[in-house]
């Protein structure tokens, strides 16, 4: 429930890049350590969570990748540092 509330707040207040970073960092929370974490997610999965189309999800991932926060590989997203991703996603 807390994650749902956080997601709804982030959706209205943050840029799409920050919302994507928030989603990826929240998916890393149950994992041990700061990273790297390999999340088995496709652009289709991310688009279905509220980011629109596959193409838009790919653009958002590319923006995060340019910042050095994630790496988009076939069928997965690699989060290099959960701490840095959370800092970027912070409102």
For residue range 56-90, what is the model confidence (pLDDT) as tens digits?
A: 989 999 999 999 999 999 989 999 988 999 899 88
Instruction: Please give the structure tokens belonging to residue 31.
Output: 């994992």
**Domain CATH code at residue 33:** 1.10.10.10
Measured CA distances, 77 to 2, 52, 70, 82 (Å): 24, 18, 7, 12
Range of the domain at 54: 2-89
User: Over the stretch 9-60, which tens digit does the pLDDT of each residue have?
Assistant: 555 557 888 999 999 988 887 777 777 889 998 888 888 887 888 899 899 9
Give the model's pLDDT for residue 4: 57
- Whole-model pTM: value is 0.78
How many domains does one find in the chain? 1
């Amino acid at each position: 429930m807390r994650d749902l509330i956080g997601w709804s707040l982030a959706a209205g207040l943050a840029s799409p890049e920050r919302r994507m970073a928030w989603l990826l960092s929240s998916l890393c929370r149950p994992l041990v350590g700061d990273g790297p974490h390999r999340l088995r997610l496709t652009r289709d999965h991310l688009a279905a969570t509220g980011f629109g189309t596959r193409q838009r999800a790919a653009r958002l991932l590319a923006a995060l990748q340019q910042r050095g926060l994630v790496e988009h590989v076939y069928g997965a997203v690699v989060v290099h540092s959960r701490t840095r991703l959370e800092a970027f996603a912070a409102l």
